[in-house]
């Protein structure tokens, strides 16, 4: 096999689309989104069969530089870069050899600038990834909701308390609008900022969402929604759509409007929209570690999905910097306003 960085985009995307675990996070479209996002550096490589010239494996990852400028001018910059491989790598015939070689090449490229690499699984990959040296498995939960049901069945599987809050919000006048113009992305982003500030977690630059809107929305690979009450936007949600799957991506809401349940309404709107447009599955985007308290897990549980544990794999490239970063992040959470 030959590991290469130069592959025709059309061939790459055909491989991803036809792979049983193919997903939006391994497409060239997502590569384009990352490439146009500040502090993001995407990595795209694949394995080509030297005998046939056909692709037999792809890997798309992205390094993210976060927390720059916190506690002084860039003091945590070099200590806050991580690499994420979401939904990949994808290989043919469950080839451990192909998988290992692609990950090895990836790690060579990121090990000097990334603290660690994480592989975020969207499907059961344990039997394959357990064979990759230096990567350690960790439980990580998620909820999957089957959309191949009627709207009535979808509604019935939602917990009674959630159905009440959704009905209450609709009765109060909360409406959902789809963003159809780029000029609304700053409004969307302001809502995200409020939520991420509240939970004290760094948020990606606005260019991630501008790029996603520019490149994914025209291809029907993303949807941006806003919840509105009177003349005020009170909540937002972005989802990624690909190959009959909907992936929950980002969400936010005004602190002062939580009593109007914009998050509940937005999720229900997306689920209903997915069923109406013949999508098969809604991926809730993660529900934390089973042994760690995680507030959003209970919120997601009440929408009636199937709890799965596909886990994540991680490899630490710099243990010393990890310790420094942990201290820095604790300070960030303590002193962020």
Q: Contact, 59 vs 45, CB < 8 A?
A: yes
Fill in the DSSP letter of residue 27: S
Q: How far is CA 227 from the centre of its chain?
A: 21
Angle between helices 9-18 and 28-35 (to 10 degrees): 120
Residue-wise pLDDT tens for the chain (337 aa)? Answer: 789 988 899 999 999 999 999 999 999 999 999 999 999 999 999 999 988 889 999 999 999 986 544 443 444 444 468 899 999 999 999 999 999 999 999 999 998 888 899 999 999 999 999 999 889 999 999 999 999 999 999 999 999 999 999 999 999 999 999 999 999 999 999 999 999 999 888 899 999 999 999 999 999 999 999 999 999 999 999 999 999 999 999 999 999 999 999 999 999 999 999 999 999 999 999 999 999 999 899 999 999 999 999 999 999 986 555 544 554 545 444 555 5
Fill in the DSSP letter of residue 293: -
CATH code given to domain 143-309:
3.40.630.30
Domains 2-140+311-335 and 143-309 share a fold: yes
Residue in the structure block whose two tokens are 């798309």: 60
Structural domain boundaries in the chain: 2-140+311-335, 143-309
CA distances from 52 to 22, 47, 48, 102, 225 (A): 22, 12, 8, 18, 45
Q: Report H helices in the chain.
A: 9-18, 28-35, 96-110, 126-129, 151-156, 160-172, 185-199, 207-215, 262-276, 295-301, 319-335
As a whole number of angstroms, the distance between CA 250 and CA 261 comes to 16
Architecture of domain 2-140+311-335 in CATH? Answer: 3-Layer(aba) Sandwich (3.40)
Residue 108 tokens, joined:
């060579």
Residues 105-143: b if buried by 16+ CB within 10 A, e if exposed: bbbebbeeebbbbbbbbbeebeeebeebeebebeebbbb
Name which of 46, 27, 51, 44 is nearest 83 in CA terms: 44
């Amino acid at each position: 096999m030959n590991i290469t960085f130069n592959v025709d985009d059309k061939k790459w995307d055909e491989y991803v689309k036809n792979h049983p675990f193919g997903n939006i996070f391994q497409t060239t479209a997502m590569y384009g989104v990352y490439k146009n996002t500040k502090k993001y550096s995407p990595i795209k490589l694949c394995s080509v069969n030297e005998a046939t010239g056909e692709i037999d494996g792809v890997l798309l990852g992205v390094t993210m530089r976060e927390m720059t400028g916190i506690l002084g001018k860039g003091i945590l910059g070099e200590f806050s870069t991580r690499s994420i491989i979401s939904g990949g790598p994808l290989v043919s015939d469950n080839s451990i050899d192909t998988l290992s070689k692609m990950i090895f090449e990836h790690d060579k490229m990121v090990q000097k600038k990334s603290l660690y690499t994480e592989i975020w699984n969207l499907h059961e990959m344990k039997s394959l990834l357990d064979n990759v040296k230096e990567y350690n498995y960790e439980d990580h939960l998620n909820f999957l909701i089957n959309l191949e049901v009627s709207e009535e069945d979808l509604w019935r599987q939602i917990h009674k308390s959630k159905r009440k809050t959704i009905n209450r919000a609709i009765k109060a006048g909360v409406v959902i609008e789809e963003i159809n113009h780029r000029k609304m992305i700053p409004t969307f982003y302001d809502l995200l900022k409020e939520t991420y500030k509240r939970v004290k977690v760094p948020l990606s630059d606005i260019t991630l969402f501008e790029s996603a809107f520019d490149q994914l929305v025209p291809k029907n690979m993303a949807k941006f929604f806003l919840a509105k009450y009177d003349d005020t936007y009170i909540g937002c949600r972005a989802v990624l759509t690909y190959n009959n799957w909907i992936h929950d991506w980002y969400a936010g809401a005004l602190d002062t409007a939580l009593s109007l349940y914009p998050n509940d309404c937005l999720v229900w709107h997306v689920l209903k929209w997915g069923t109406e447009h013949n999508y098969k599955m809604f991926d809730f985007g993660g529900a934390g570690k089973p042994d760690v308290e995680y507030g959003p897990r209970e919120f997601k549980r009440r929408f009636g999905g199937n709890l799965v544990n596909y886990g994540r794999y991680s490899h630490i490239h710099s243990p010393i910097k990890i310790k420094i970063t942990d201290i820095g992040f604790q300070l960030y959470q303590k002193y962020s306003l």
